[in-house]
């Protein structure tokens, strides 16, 4: 366990500097001010690697690293993270020389230097994360962190549970290698089509469409409903919302920040 935050170190954050630690935690979504005081006194908070248990300690989040239960507290008024529901026929880019609809037509110019974390193909729908936090984006998209992505796919034709089980246990060989699903479940089906829920870590281009096309069941409709802990929920197509601090914190924890 780290040593207690020393008086010498606290001298750098006097009563006239920084923000009180419990106030910072409350702003970051850890609960009421009183709840955040309990988190501090329980020995769950570190500042620059040192344990802090004294109430009233002031910190500078721009220059100090604060962690709760080992996870970094990310507070930066300049950073914004959005979840957007992309409709079909919208490009996963911010501009298009051909004049087609893009993500910027949905988000507008309200947020400076915002960009998308990953893509969906032109005919696919659903959840796209956007941010102006470069570090968060880099971690979310890096294969190292294997962020799970959940899709609802409507397939041409009727498939059985044995097909889903085989895609999880054995996978399918594509041009760029063997790929397995983490989870596959049939939601509904008829003689003409089948609706399946699939979960996988891969972020390769058109990966879900390529998997099912390879086994003879082309995808008629594809909707991404979740990335890591962030869910699409009831967000309407063509709209977006700002992630709450607890949501940003859970996403950051998922990708090792």
pLDDT above 80 (res 13) = no
Beta bridge partners of 131: 81, 115
pLDDT score for 75:
66
- Check if the beta carbon of residue 236 is closer than 8 Å to that of residue 215: no
**Segment 117-140, tens digit of pLDDT:** 989 999 999 999 999 888 888 888
Q: Which residues are catalytic?
A: 121
What pLDDT does 2 receive? Answer: 45
Evaluated on CA atoms 217, 223, 227, 232, the torsion sign reads negative
Output the pLDDT for position 16: 52
Helix (H, G, I), strand (E, B) or coil at 18: coil
40-68: pLDDT as tens digits: 999 999 999 899 998 889 988 778 888 88
**Secondary structure of 30-79 as H, E, C letters:** CCCHHHHHHHHHCCCEEECCEEECCCCCEECCCCCCEEECCEECCCCCCC
Strand partners, 223: 125, 152
Pick 224 or 19 by higher pLDDT.
224
Query: Quick one: pLDDT at residue 1?
Result: 45
Q: Are strands 193-200 and 183-189 parallel, antiparallel or unpaired?
A: antiparallel
DSSP structural state of residue 91: B
- Which segment of 82-86, 99-103, 136-140 scores lowest on mean pLDDT? 136-140
Q: Is the pLDDT of residue 82 over 50?
A: yes
Q: Which residues, in sequence order, are CB contacts of 224 under 8 Å at separation 6+?
A: 120, 124, 125, 126, 127, 128, 149, 150, 151, 232
* Alpha helix (H) residue ranges in 29-157: 33-41, 103-107, 134-141
Percentage of the residues of the chain whose pLDDT score is greater than 70? 91
Whole-number pLDDT of residue 76: 60
| The pLDDT of residue 138 | 84
């Amino acid at each position: 366990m780290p040593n207690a935050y020393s008086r010498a170190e606290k001298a750098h954050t006097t009563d006239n500097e920084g923000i009180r630690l419990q106030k910072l935690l409350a702003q970051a979504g850890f609960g009421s001010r009183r709840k955040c005081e309990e988190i501090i006194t329980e020995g769950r908070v570190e500042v620059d690697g040192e344990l802090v248990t004294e109430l009233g300690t002031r910190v500078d989040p721009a220059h100090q690293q604060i962690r709760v239960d080992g996870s970094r507290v990310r507070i930066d008024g300049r950073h914004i993270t959005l979840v957007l529901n992309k409709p079909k026929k919208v490009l996963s880019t911010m501009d298009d020389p051909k004049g087609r609809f893009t993500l910027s037509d949905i988000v507008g110019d309200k947020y400076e230097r915002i960009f998308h974390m990953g893509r969906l193909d032109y005919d696919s729908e659903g959840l796209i994360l956007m941010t102006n936090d470069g570090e968060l984006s880099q971690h979310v998209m890096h294969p190292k962190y294997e962020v799970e992505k959940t899709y609802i796919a409507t397939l041409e034709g009727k498939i059985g549970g044995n097909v889903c089980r085989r895609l999880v246990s054995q996978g399918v060989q594509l041009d760029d290698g063997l790929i397995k699903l983490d989870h596959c479940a049939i939601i509904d089906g008829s003689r003409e089509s089948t609706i399946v829920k699939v979960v996988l870590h891969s972020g390769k281009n058109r990966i879900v469409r390529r998997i099912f096309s390879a086994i003879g069941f082309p995808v008629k409709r594809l909707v991404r409903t979740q990335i890591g802990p962030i869910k699409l929920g009831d967000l309407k197509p063509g709209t977006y919302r700002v992630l709450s601090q607890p949501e940003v914190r859970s996403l950051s924890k998922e990708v090792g920040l």
